[in-house]
Amino acid sequence: MRNVLILILTAILLAACQSQPAVIQEPVEVTVPVEVPVTPAAWLMQPVNYPLPMWVDTSSKDADACLSPDGEGQLRAWMLDKFEREKAWRAWAQP
């Protein structure tokens, strides 16, 4: 009985060792996304140079927010351009 059991176990082990999975060797094409550099608009790349607004004394009758009327216009234009640039940079940065 013992010899039969050893014979069966040996046959099972030999059968298990001989079966090998089939290996398929075919070329497979894999597409990989490639990063494409995107350059921002030329006007965004230019340095920002604004004239400084003219500050005036608070006791002056032209003093509205401590700025001359021309200084207020310059500051307003500078802030509007700043917000426009920020909006453009954010739009450029979105995928």
pLDDT, tens only, 80-89: 999 999 999 9
pLDDT per position as a tens digit, 5-57: 888 888 887 777 666 778 888 999 999 999 888 888 888 888 888 887 777 77
- CA dist 9 and 12 (Å) reads 5
Tell me the domain boundaries of the chain: 42-95
